[in-house]
Structure 1
């Protein structure tokens, strides 16, 4: 209502224009003991705890399969274009803004994980479910943590993790083929998400933009 009164529009597009910075929507999560309230992700030396390593491993390793759960629009992937500031890899690092997962261990009571891949268009319920589901899966299955990315992480790809989908159709196909996703979220939910993403992709592919006409009308 505020923006209507000001004759303006509030937009949550991930990439509003090609000459405009991408807009992030970064879910932040921490883990605590439900009985004592003690933080569980990091130790007092400012490093991941044994439990925290497995939790982060679950998120990082499942990012490629679960991308459609936090980037469910065609426009979501415009933000990952080369030259943009947004992270675009399944990486992690302490305080590293260029990684998909930024770890903030201090102060200990406020230790948290910042998931930097989602844009402003993210569905927070879906993104938090993805983080919790993937992280707990890593704990349950005793997964090993990939190496930390200490430099610029936008082009770093761990060979045993793989690349993040580059568009909505790739993300839908990765989610559809993920047995882990079905184990965590159930068949019906996964099939629903896949169908929605494919429908959106097909709808957008059937539309010819003014930029396409400008680029190809007199050149092909």
Structure 2
């Protein structure tokens, strides 16, 4: 019998649904913030949609993570009446859902005009530009996330305070923790294998209840799917087990933030050889890799909103907490934003360490890959690599980044490189969504303000 990940065509998608005797399948797509939206679809509707596509209310491209409507977007809004947007099903995305017996999941992508602001389509366009330039991009994402012995109800009842971490204290790379809780680790690893986002590594990080998962490398478009699915289904699995997982960039001022590092490399589309590896160089960094790093470095301030897309993202970007604070690079240097990792023709790559766990995987990957490709196309050269502690550098050498989401949105909105890579309509829409996010934050009074000003000022 045909297996889920063997499905490649419309005909095979029909066959597997018929073979399992399913009355419904699950179909999902990802919104601007990387949140998966979708529904169960009847077999008849699914079969029709495989051929003709289906419609999905475009409000999911016009609201935030709390389903609040943007008031500043041109693409959709009350002024358009929130019409349906065309969506196409991706047959080769078929996956089993381990905890829904016999159920299948298919990913979808916005089509026609809606492609202009669709996050997955934005990544696909960058991948297509890479291929047109003669490269096949490969990527792997890794995430840090905290687990809590809480439920969606209990965290709200507590006002998100005094939460109980899944495990106590600081204990990175702990064999004790993963052995005591081997059943949970086994469930996570098994889910990754069965849903085709296999984990190359899974371990505790530094902090109470924090884990790090490294997803195996794949072609860039598939890597985006795998990262987006991992984030979604890790949260699902945790809640099914009476726990909660958060991918907030930084949930507490007492602990380091949560990264979403991106590993990238380019291979020749002709012969599959690494475009990043040059054995004649001491660290193996080829001219193409230097240009790629230069593009990432120079465009990092302009593309930051795609990699740090929430107000909370900027709580992580502070010195001394394993997060970069400047647009710099180094060879095997974890204090820099870009870490060149020497290896061989198979493993030579760059790690984009600026990425946070809260970013939309498709957009973070599109930004990291697109900026690198742009550097290759422009034949830019990077600054000298940083040796030692990048946090100790002066602001001029650091090449500082925008400090707030609002500032990042303004840089992105005016970026000619962003418009060329992602399209003017996407740039306008995404920048508007980040401006909305910042304005929503400014409307609310924080606990810090009450504690600081209520009595004394």
User: What do the CA deviations read for 1:135-173 (whole angstroms, capped 9, x no partner)?
Assistant: 111111111211111121135468488321111011011
Q: Which runs of 5+ in 2 are unaligned?
A: 1-235
Give the alignment partner of residue 98 of structure 1, picking from 314, 323, 335. Answer: 335
User: What do the CA deviations read for 1:95-123 (whole angstroms, capped 9, x no partner)?
Assistant: 10010011111144211111111111121
| SS of equivalent residue, structure 2 residue 270 | coil
Structure 1 contact 175–190 (Cα < 8 Å) conserved:
yes
> Residue 251 of structure 2 corresponds to which residue in structure 1?
16
Question: Within 2, Cα distance between the matches of 1:153 and 1:180?
Answer: 27
Task: Give the alignment of 1:92-131 within 5 angstroms.
Answer: 92-131=329-368
> Residue 28 of structure 1 corresponds to which residue in structure 2?
263
Question: Within 1, Cα distance between the matches of 2:389 and 2:342?
Answer: 19
Please tell me whether residue 5 in structure 1 is matched to residue 258 in structure 2.
Answer: no
Q: How many residue pairs get matched?
A: 220
Relative distance call for 1:81 and 1:50 in structure 2 (3 A) is closer
The structural deviation recorded for 1:174 is 0.8
Task: Give the alignment of 1:40-51 within 5 angstroms.
Answer: 40-44=275-279, 45-51=282-288
Relative distance call for 1:20 and 1:30 in structure 2 (3 A) is same
TM-score calculated relative to the size of structure 1: 0.94
Structure 2 contact 322–334 (Cα < 8 Å) conserved:
no
By relative contact order (CA 8 Å, sep 6+), the higher-ranking structure is 1
Question: Within 1, Cα distance between the matches of 2:286 and 2:320?
Answer: 34
TM-score calculated relative to the size of structure 2: 0.46
User: What do the CA deviations read for 1:58-106 (whole angstroms, capped 9, x no partner)?
Assistant: 1111001110011110011100134422112101111100100111111
Structure of greater Rg: 2
Q: Which runs of 5+ in 1 are unaligned?
A: none
Relative distance call for 1:153 and 1:26 in structure 2 (3 A) is same
The structural deviation recorded for 1:56 is 0.8
Higher strand proportion = 2
Alignment root-mean-square deviation, CA: 1.7
The structure 1 segments of at least 4 consecutive aligned residues displaced by more than 4 Å after TM superposition are 157-161
> Residue 202 of structure 1 corresponds to which residue in structure 2?
439
Structure 2 contact 284–343 (Cα < 8 Å) conserved:
no
The structural deviation recorded for 1:184 is 1.7
